[in-house]
Chains A and B, each alone.
Chain A
Amino acid sequence: MFGLLAASIVAPNSVRAQEKAPAKKRPHSESRTPYVHRIQLRDDQDNPISIPKPDPAAKDKAPEIKPPSIAFTCGKCHDYPTISSGWHSNAADPNVPAGRSGEPWILTDDGLREDTKGPLPSNTRTQLPLSYRGWDGTWKPSEIGFSDWDFAYAFGRQLPGGGILESSKDIRFNVTGHLQNDCLVCHIADNDYDGNARYEQIVKKQNFKWAPVVAAGVGLAEKSRERLKDTWVAGEGPKEPTFDYDLHRFNDEGHILFNVTRRIPNERCYLCHTSLATDKSQSGGLSQIWRHDRDIHLVKGMLCVDCHRNGLDHAITRGYEKESEDRKDTHLASLTCQGCHYGAGDHATGSDLGGRNAAPRPVHKGLPTLHFDKLSCTACHSGPYPGDQAKEMLTSMAHRLGTESFNRTDQAAPTLQAPVFLRNPRTGKITPNKVLYPTFWGRLNGNDITPITPDLLNTSAALRKIFGPKPSLDGQPAKPLTEDEIVKALEAVALMKPVAPKSAQATTKPTTTTASAPATPAWYTGEPVFVTGGKAYKRAGNGKLTGFTNKDAEPYSWEFAHDVRGAQQALGARGCTDCHSSGAPIFDSKVSTAALFTGASTSIPMHELRNEAMGSFTAFATTYPLRPILIATGYTCAIILLLVLIAYGSRGVTGIARRSARKS
């Protein structure tokens, strides 16, 4: 009873409290000068928090002050529920259109909560794309029995919070607190926000509740909630870990200064959106950032938010070509590459006069306009310069860049590759993509494969023995399994039976999914399969595997647009033969299937991934050396024709003149 009460109070309290007062009057400065946020913190009951002055006499005894709530502190003046409806928080909202596929959250063995009393987690090699948005090729967490809390634990380090992470009824949130929408993770202007502290509070201490304020340097939460049971209730049993204010950050009035800005520095975005090609490593070491040029726009002084703009609803402009259609807002058309550099053609807003902020109008000398119908701007201008092979990439979301690691390598799992030139089905244009070939264990029912989460695999002692322990060092490449190991593992998976869950564990699964979940989850039925390298493998008897294609084994790809390379480094800057020649990257660059099955990895040329016949392109490329002959012939003919026209034209004019003179 008390637990239920506590759950209803602690969980989505902030959201509900805000929703109760939609007409709340909020102060505004209406100026481009940032308002100085020297403010009083508020607690999770929306009460102002009084901060006493530091007392040097009471060294060891910190005053008891209620911990702060970001939602209520920021929500005093800002419309928190509206802000929380933005892209960074609304993924699980079924009423929000999924939009263009983006980078998924990739579940690996690193993202799991370790049971300190249980066996060591094993090296399942899982690389599974998850998204609440239901993008094709990804799984919703509930589809694989991954709870909202599990998701928050695995990825909350680089999710601002809010949405399902603030409103989920998973009971573990009662212990850890929810992840409120963390305004400060983006809006702190002076690099004082400690992303690594946020990560440690979430993953190492399970202090979800205080992760934002600890990261923002408001105070410290040194104790962990890791050992608190799911049934723990505040005020009963073990004491709740404390949040200790850094009193020196407060002035005499008990106000704290947050240097927040609307014009968010790029470095804040990079906490979660860094993307590094690993082709610039030094002696096998980690990718050397100093060897990479940044996006040309940032080098020229722009901010990410100059293009990726948003209103209060935080529906940040993504900048892709059809976004204005998707969101039914013509204004957004001017916030694409084309819209900004050519103008969006809207006479009413003047955008037909040219691009925004005097963005240089591309000249594209000698480039037949046909190319603009076949290629996105990003195909030639974005990402690492393409070569014979797509490069392995590290990203913040997939590889925890921005958080501390002593061991991360360039080949760290999951294996992401870019640029991979695929055709956008909506625009028909070739665009650069990042690609992940998923690797996971699952069960085949009909044509559908249901993945099995690593934590479920870890419940099997036989599987743990086959997989071996998870590498003690983080950020390591995944080691392929042999055919024998995979067969044995599939046999062990076949023997896995549904275990009657302990009542507490059962309730950690989202209530939203249990209602529609079948009696026996799909990951316990059907033929066990191992998916890797674009194929699914099942047992063929005699200790062998048989591979087959399946839609659920296909690679997942998502378009990217950064870093943008300037005109001099664009594909085609060296001439037509950048693409119209044998072995041109846009057609023939190869993508590894990165199979974690020994000997099963292959390299696939990009035109094959696009299912494109190469006959005409090859013929075109082959005849390219004849182009000068064609040009010479054309000009010779044009000159002769011009001479003939001049000669006989002047003769005709003279004749007409003579005739009219004779008549007169």
Chain B
Amino acid sequence: MLRTLTTIGILIAIALPLIDAALFRPGRKSLGSRRLVRIERLVYLLFLFAVLLQAISSFGSIVLGGRMDRWMLMLHMSSAGLFAVTLTVLAVLWAEQSSFETTGEPVFHTGEKVAFWLTVIAGFLTILSAMLGMMTWFGSDGQVTLLRIHRYSGLLLLIFAVFHGYRLLLGRPRETVRA
């Protein structure tokens, strides 16, 4: 069940950018000339890197029929801090620009904003469920629930983050690619 859902999730993560690239990207308009500052680009790339490590160590193991333990668990735990910090920094940096109520020159397309907020929500659930699971507050039943929340919010996070990354890095009209 988990393996099937994970596989479906990964396929969706791959399919969404492809669909967008085929159907919507050609008609997308440029947003002007504002560029992301270097620190934003660095944090964002680190965030994508952390998401990649997290996904490989967890969903990669599951899809291959194994489970996340030993070195994969180490990799997952080691990149967890980087993921949490970079997501939080991005949330603080881009929250205003990703707001639908923003005034002034738009930095992000609506699709990017939607993907951003979904990524933040899924990321928040992923981090919180992991942290709560590390405390001695929950018994086995609670642990099982937290693990499920962690897994499925993590899977959604992967879908949203991949889509967001695609939209930001590859999905914009050619003349306005900036990140």
Contact = CB atoms under 8 A, between A and B. Distances in A.
Nearest to A658: B101
B74 A655 contact: no
B81 A641 contact: no
A363 B140 contact: yes
Interface string B69-101: 111011001101100110110011001000111
B124 interface: yes
A373 interface: yes
Contacts of B139: 362-365
A648 B85 contact: no
A403 B29 CA distance: 93
B80 A645 contact: no
Interface string A342-364: 00000000000000000000111
Contacts of B100: 652, 655
B74 A651 contact: no
Contacts of B69: 370, 374
A368 B133 contact: yes
Contact of A644 (B95, B130, B138): B95
Contacts of B73: 616, 620
A615 interface: yes
Given A368-B133, A633-B85, A651-B101, A641 B74 contact: no
Contacts, number: 104
Contacts of B71: 615-616, 619
A634 interface: yes
Contacts of A634: 80-81, 84, 127, 130-131, 134
Contacts of B127: 634, 637-638, 641
A641 B87 contact: yes
Given A364-B143, A652-B99, A644 B91 contact: yes
Contact of A365 (B99, B117, B137): B137
B80 A620 contact: no
Chain B interface category by residue count: 35 or more
A652 B117 CA distance: 11
A87 interface: no
Contacts of B45: none
B5 interface: no
A633 B123 CA distance: 14
Main secondary structure of the interface of A (DSSP, over half): helix
A362 B120 CA distance: 35
B66 to A, nearest CB: 12
B120 A641 contact: yes
B95 A368 contact: no
A366 B147 contact: no
A370 B147 CA distance: 10
A642 interface: yes
Contacts of A655: 100-101
A637 B133 contact: no
A644 B124 CA distance: 10
Interface in A624-664: 627, 629-631, 633-638, 640-642, 644-645, 647-648, 651-652, 655
B134 A637 contact: no
A367 interface: yes
A593 B100 CA distance: 71
B67 interface: yes
Given A363-B139, A640-B91, A616 B70 contact: yes
B135 interface: yes
Contact of B85 (A362, A368, A637): A637
Given A648-B95, A652-B100, A637 B88 contact: yes
A369 interface: yes
Contacts of A146: none
Given A644-B92, A644-B95, 17 more contacts: A362-B140, A365-B138, A369-B144, A370-B69, A620-B73, A631-B131, A633-B84, A634-B80, A635-B131, A636-B88, A637-B84, A638-B124, A641-B123, A641-B127, A642-B124, A644-B91, A652-B100
14 contacts: A362-B139, A364-B139, A365-B139, A366-B138, A366-B143, A615-B71, A620-B73, A620-B74, A620-B77, A623-B78, A634-B81, A638-B131, A644-B120, A645-B121
5 cross-chain pairs, A with B, having the tightest CB-CB distances, nearest first: A366-B136, A363-B139, A616-B70, A637-B84, A637-B88
Interface of B: 67, 69-71, 73-74, 77-78, 80-81, 84-85, 87-88, 91-92, 95, 99-101, 117, 120-121, 123-124, 127-128, 130-131, 133-140, 143-144, 147
Interface of A: 362-370, 372-374, 615-617, 619-620, 623, 627, 629-631, 633-638, 640-642, 644-645, 647-648, 651-652, 655
